[in-house]
Structure 1
Amino acid sequence: MDAKKTAKELIEHLGGNENVISATHCATRLRLVLKDDNKPNKQEIEELEGVKGVFSASGQFQVIFGTGLVNKVYAEFANETGLGTKDTDGGEKQVDHAEAAKKKMNPFARIARTLSNIFVPIIPAIVASGLLMGLLGMMTAFEWVAPDSPWILFLDMFSSAAFIILPILIGFSAAKEFGANPYLGAVLGGIMTHPALLNPWTLTDAVPESIVFFGMNVELLGYQGTVIPILLVVYIMSKIEKGLRKIVPNAIDLLVVPFVTVILTGFIAMLFIGPLGTWVGNGLTWSLDFIYNTAGLFAGLIFGGLYSTIVITGVHHSFHAIEAALIADLGVNFLLPIWAMANVAQGGAGFAVFFLTKNQKVKEIAIPASFSAFLGITEPVIFGVNLRFMRPFIGAAIGGALGGAYVVAMNVVTNAYGLTGIPMIAIAAPFGSSNIINYLIGMLIAAVGAFIATWILGLKEDTTKK
């Protein structure tokens, strides 16, 4: 593929250089923020060499090229448009892409994106802890070592650490996202998990001490393993810090701003926001648990069938916060297996398209895109294949609903978030072989159900591309 030729033609079909505000790329997609989203000729762009799909989401116009190709196209695209090059003052011509994208989102989508930016960087720590818990569980269940073995002691420490200091991790990440000092965010997380406070993560049956402060009865209860309290606290901290920086002279900024920010936010956290956040978080967890246990199969059908539609809107980015709260409060994540069924179903529908289509380019895209869905990456198959013809997307929704109903009926759960498809087996394993088997059966139901539903619905290749 001639990356330079593709980049030039892409710019032309986008409406020219003047219509491009900023550009960046991820592992598979070129992400663009445009002045006028109606100018691009999507049909012409989809016909360009190397392009595997086009869609708009999260305030960005996104073109799927695939791993490896997207880097080459972006380099040529940046050269042609001047984005990323230095101007005469030594600064970047390209504006901040994330901020430009946020400005084009509606308020709800902005909140979802913000939560995603906070929780996605924490995924490796949560996944590692989940796998360590699984290893600890197997060593205990199969008696590989004695109960008082140092292995048990160390693995228990390693596996629980991320959840005990979760407010510190979230505090750091949230402060970065809110434009505040991330280390002050971590300090607030440290205050809320201080050893002087009762740790509910390890001492669930203990009763916290209470003190009277300015006539208020304050329980000395820690927030280890909680999510919502630290999010609210760091958001308030960011407002206090930014407000102080506007009025405090630069000469004494380092002395005054951190001190006042920590002491004010610390008192607000311990007296008001912490207890309120805990109440809100417990209410959310209880509500989801009630729906899951009461609605049962119906909940699986609805969530599994609608998840891919939610992905299109970008709102799914906010689900990591909910899943983290479930793990912290209940010790399990019962939502992720449902999302996994929806993702696998998209792959099953994509395979059906491979056999149904007569378009050679669509065939070339369908196989790798469908396989990526089985690994938990669904954007290529959703936007590059299934949504192009709509009926496969509906077939995938049917398969996702069937798979979702099954995993709910079988109580399939995980102890982390961030992985779906085949990789999710690793974080489903800690709950036993039956959990893994039922998850695999659910995947089979979702994929085969989506394949059959798509085959029955058929494919209209002359349908106008959307």
Structure 2
Amino acid sequence: MASNKEIAKQVIEAVGGEENIQSIAHCATRLRVMVHDREKVDVETLEEIEKVKGAFYNSGQYQIIFGTGTVNQIYQAVTEQGVEGSSKSEMKEEAAKQGTAFQRAIRTFGDVFVPIIPVLVATGLFMGLRGLLLQEAFLEFFGLTPDTVPENIVLFTQVLTDTAFIFLPALVAWSTFRVFGGTPVIGLVLGLMLVSPSLPNAWAVAEGSESPIYFLDFIPIVGYQGSVLPAFFAGLVGAKLEKWCRKRIPDALDLILTPFIVLLVMIALSLFVLGPILHIAEDGIFQTMLFLLELPFGLSGLLIGLFHQVIVITGVHHIFNFLEIQLFENLGYNPFNPVITGAIAAQGGAALAVAVKTSSNKVKAIAFPSSISAFLGITEPAIFGVNLRYMKPFIMGLIGGGVSGFLASIFNLQATGLAITVIPGSLLYLNEQIFGYLLVNIVAIAIAFVLTYMFGFNDKMLEKK
């Protein structure tokens, strides 16, 4: 078995030598290398290095999958060879300059929403548990009915399930300010202003129990509870305005004037211009997504399940975070999650078939843990480390995803949250849907496994590769 030092030398050589490395960093599982000349990188040699579970180019970087723990050791060994490391923030700045304008925009969208996702996941789990605890069958064990549950208990569950979405604009504005170089607390206050109780509540206006305030008799002014785009663009413009102010306002006055100007200008701009326009755009995106999800005969699930993992390869799948948030906020449930969970599970099933069928210990060592990772909702190791290498397993996984998405649409599954899938995702279906959800995932894994085992992989592919 090669030492980490030897592996580090092989990695440096495979990416074109030390002189071709622009910068290097690592995350939880991957070594991220930016190079001067992509043509000098020998990807095939890179993938054959011991402990490497896959390598691919994305977001302006070569991402070499080593796995948790191992990647820290390899990174240290590489830097000990004289290669200068970069922080992830520095690498982000470098990577942000690469790729198409669309890819850069989606990356930025991802940078804004990824830090928010954990609290939205927790909120979804709270909703799932609340649905379970307040079911009639469950309450009967305690001699209760939904009408006899103490009001204080119901109120406590509402605090857990409603808070994150009531103040979602504050979270989005805070994160957007952070990403675009503004002061996050100014973004937080700006976002809170958008949901101020002094404004007509957006949900009450939608229900007809309140009316908007009209400015100049034609601009509707409402709160933006649950909205995303108005808060995002308010944060983007606000962060730019703050940086502009800080360059021009004397240091002695900066502490007082900059927050004052930014908040005054941005709340006026948000309520009178950005909010009304972007609310219409947001509603248009929502209606378009709803149209796709409501296609008849399970067609929506078939198409989304079939192509979801193809979009993951392109690296622009972060846009789905925004779409899921918008769907969940408007509908009170998430119809997108159940049609993609099978697509994720299926890639794990395909990788598992490769692991079982191959006689190569190296491939087994990559494929088994990669399949487990997919069953926990993370498909990149399975896709880039196994399935996409031999192509056919990836295609069989797509077929499994399409069939499972079709079933999810036919069953009309509705998640109580977002952002977690497959095994962890079962927590979003702790009600009468749980058996349908489990069936969708089992079908996805079974189809992908059987097709890959029978038609999608054999050891001759190792030689051809």
Common topology (TM > 0.5): yes
Q: Return the offset for 1:426.
A: 0.7
CA distance in 2, matches of 1:354, 1:167: 45
CA distance in 1, matches of 2:89, 2:113: 24
Q: Return the offset for 1:246.
A: 2.9
What 5-or-longer segments of structure 2 have no aligned partner? none
Contact 1:200/1:224 (8 A) holds in 2: yes
Q: Return the offset for 1:248.
A: 2.3
- 2:363 maps to 1:362: yes
* 1:458 aligned partner, one-letter code: G
Give the match for residue 186 of structure 2. 184
Report SS of the residue matched to 1:56.
Answer: strand
Contact 2:371/2:382 (8 A) holds in 1: yes
Over the matched positions of the two proteins, sequence identity in percent amounts to 39
Report SS of the residue matched to 2:116.
Answer: helix
Contact 1:21/1:95 (8 A) holds in 2: no
- 2:298 maps to 1:304: no
Report SS of the residue matched to 1:31.
Answer: strand
CA distance in 2, matches of 1:346, 1:83: 36
Give the match for residue 122 of structure 1. 116
* 2:168 aligned partner, one-letter code: L
Give the match for residue 344 of structure 1. 345
Q: Return the offset for 1:150.
A: 1.3
Contact 2:333/2:415 (8 A) holds in 1: yes
* 2:72 aligned partner, one-letter code: N
- 2:419 maps to 1:418: yes
| Deviation string, structure 1 residues 243-300 (Cα, Å, up to 9, x no partner) | 2223223332222221111111111100111111211111111111122112452221
Contact 1:83/1:94 (8 A) holds in 2: no
Q: Return the offset for 1:396.
A: 0.6
Size of the aligned set, in residue pairs, is 454
Contact 1:164/1:201 (8 A) holds in 2: no
From the superposition, tell whether residues 184 and 67 of structure 1 become closer, same or farther in structure 2 (CA, over 3 Å).
same
Report SS of the residue matched to 1:315.
Answer: coil
* Aligned pair partner of 1:193 in 186, 192, 195: 195
* Aligned pair partner of 1:447 in 434, 445, 448: 445
- 2:461 maps to 1:461: yes
Is the deviation greater in 326-335 or in 396-405? 326-335
Report SS of the residue matched to 1:354.
Answer: helix
Give the match for residue 87 of structure 1. none
CA distance in 2, matches of 1:53, 1:260: 50
CA distance in 2, matches of 1:211, 1:440: 47
Report SS of the residue matched to 1:373.
Answer: helix
Q: Return the offset for 1:203.
A: 6.9
CA distance in 1, matches of 2:270, 2:83: 46
Q: TM-score, normalized by length of structure 2?
A: 0.92
CA distance in 1, matches of 2:213, 2:309: 49
Give the match for residue 327 of structure 2. 326
Q: Return the offset for 1:456.
A: 3.6
Contact 2:23/2:91 (8 A) holds in 1: yes
CA distance in 1, matches of 2:295, 2:399: 22
Give the match for residue 156 of structure 1. 158
RMSD of the alignment, in Å? 2.0
CA distance in 2, matches of 1:257, 1:166: 24
CA distance in 2, matches of 1:111, 1:199: 31
Q: Return the offset for 1:75.
A: 1.3
Give the match for residue 76 of structure 2. 75
Give the match for residue 279 of structure 1. 280
Contact 1:357/1:461 (8 A) holds in 2: no
Contact 1:7/1:77 (8 A) holds in 2: yes
Contact 1:282/1:329 (8 A) holds in 2: no
From the superposition, tell whether residues 216 and 24 of structure 1 become closer, same or farther in structure 2 (CA, over 3 Å).
farther
Report SS of the residue matched to 2:114.
Answer: helix
Q: TM-score, normalized by length of structure 1?
A: 0.92
Q: Return the offset for 1:350.
A: 0.8
CA distance in 2, matches of 1:243, 1:357: 59
From the superposition, tell whether residues 124 and 12 of structure 1 become closer, same or farther in structure 2 (CA, over 3 Å).
same
